[in-house]
Amino acid sequence: MLVLQNLTKQYGAKDVALKNVSLTIGQGEIVGLIGPSGAGKSTLIRCINRLVEPSGGKILLDDVDLASLSAKELRRARRRIGMIFQEYALVERLTVMENVLSGRLGYVPFWRSYLRKFPANDVRSAYALLDRVGLLAHADKRADALSGGQRQRVGIARALAQEPDLLLVDEPTASLDPKTSRQIMRLITEVCVERALPAIVNIHDVPLAKQFMQRIVGLRAGGVVFDGKPEALDNEV
């Protein structure tokens, strides 16, 4: 479970990007973040794993306050947070399988063919994940040989290989066509439900958010202006 308490981020002297945001996200709950450009969606996502340093407030992941961890503790805590990116952030020269295993490792090593160095269990679960995302036949292809939708499937499998307690998803379909976008959103929501994995999805496409998200949080000028079921959004706007 993730609890944000009065999360605040101020970049410059008066550039307040997040103002006292408080949210509770339960086990297996998938929350879509919507709002106009500049509303604070990326800042909110990045504060949670401290790619952006919060200016104030608490970020409780199962009772550990991520906002107050030292650099060393933070490295360990980040292993519990899976990330899925708009541009996939794969290592192009590595194979699909190697990309997924790098999620297990938490970093990308400089040497090739490190499959052999992984415990058989990790390799087995990586194959199972590739099967789940529909890429088993592509395990040995280089990442740069895949289509955008396939790359995002690798991104999803890599994040899950971490066995995270929380998934942060930043505009996962912004580079994909509408049909592929729906397939990717369906996959993300399904794997979260299967694992009771809480997720926050920065999703700029409101119709897509309404189709796939159980709960929508609307941000405007750094504050929460809507928090509810997608159906309730229709009465708001």
- Residue 17 binds ligand ADP, judged by CB under 6 A: yes
Residue closer to ligand ADP by CB (options 38, 106) is 38
Stretch that binds ligand ADP, among 12-20, 59-67, 190-198, 226-234 (CB under 6 A): 12-20
First to last CA, the chain: 30
- Asked if 87 interacts with ligand ADP (CB under 6 A), we say no
Nearer to ligand ADP, 127 or 226 (CB): 226
Q: How far is the CB of 139 from ligand ADP (least distance, A)?
A: 31
Catalogue the long-range contacts made by 172-180 (C-beta closer than 8 Å, 24 or more residues apart).
Answer: 172/84, 172/85, 172/86, 172/201, 172/203, 173/203, 173/205, 173/208, 174/86, 174/204, 175/86, 175/87, 175/148, 176/148, 176/149, 176/152, 180/147, 180/148, 180/149
The distance of closest approach from Cβ of residue 222 to ligand ADP in the complex, given in angstroms and rounded to an integer, is 7
* Per-residue binding letters, 40-59, with ligand ADP (x by CB under 6 A): xxxx----------------
Please count the residues of this chain forming the interface with ligand ADP, following the rule CB under 6 A: 12
Near ligand ADP by CB under 6 A, which window of 30-38, 70-78, 90-98, 154-162? 30-38
231 belongs to the binding site for ligand ADP (CB under 6 A): no
**What is the rounded CA–CA span in Å between residue 44 and residue 50?**
10
Question: Helices (DSSP H) in 79-205: which residue ranges?
Answer: 96-105, 120-132, 148-161, 178-195
d(CA 132, CA 101): 15
Residues that bind ligand ADP (CB under 6 A): 11-12, 15, 17, 35, 37-43
